[in-house]
Amino acid sequence: MFTEILEIVKSIRDFLAQLAKGVKESPKWVRTLLALVLACALFGGGIFWGFKLAYSPKRVGGVDISTFCNFYKYGTVEQESCSSPINLTAACNWQYKDKHRDLIYRLNSPNPRSAACYTADQTFVGGIFDMKGYCEAQYGSPSVVALAEGSIWRCRIKIDMQLACELTYQRSDVEARKEGSEWSCYA
């Protein structure tokens, strides 16, 4: 690998040597034009980077995470995530949509993982085995997770603070920054 790098460096060096030789042997007006183009490029780049480095974004305010959660139709705002309880009846009907309609669920123990789907006449259909798939279908995001907390299943998603800043201030030129334990938006 080291020899390959040396070959690349040698090729670049040879190319630059040929380019310098070509410039030296070219007419004076070509050398003058190249010098002028180079000077303009350096001057323009210097102005661009001067403005870029001199510009310092200003804090516009905090992040309204409830706006993010409400926008995506989640019911609960947590530290840095949004969540909603899963309607297990809806999850049963989603899980078995091709085979049954109007299913109901029943927990066979206090454990939320024991949720089972039944027909109206109490015929067992099966368990809910794709809670993440249900959450993805409800919220349209592959980043959403399904988790059991106590006796409740929840769909949860981590808040995209950049997007939360954009939603909060209705601007695309804002930037989310974490300062200590708090998030702020800068523009």
pLDDT for residue 49: 67
Full-model pTM: 0.63
pLDDT means per 10 residues, the chain with 187 residues, are 81 80 81 78 70 75 90 88 93 87 84 86 90 93 89 91 92 91 91
pLDDT for residue 149: 85
pLDDT for residue 51: 63
- The domain locations on the chain are 2-54, 81-158
Q: What DSSP letter does each residue of the chain carry, written as one string? A: -HHHHHHHHHHHHHHHHHHHHHHHHS-HHHHHHHHHHHHHHHHHHHHHHHHHHH----EEEE--HHHHHHHTT-SEE-SSEEEEE--HHHHHHHHTTTT-SS-EEEESSSSGGGEEEE-TT--EEEE---HHHHHHHHH--TT-EEEEETTEEEEEEE--HHHHHHHHHT-SS-EEEEETTEEEEE-
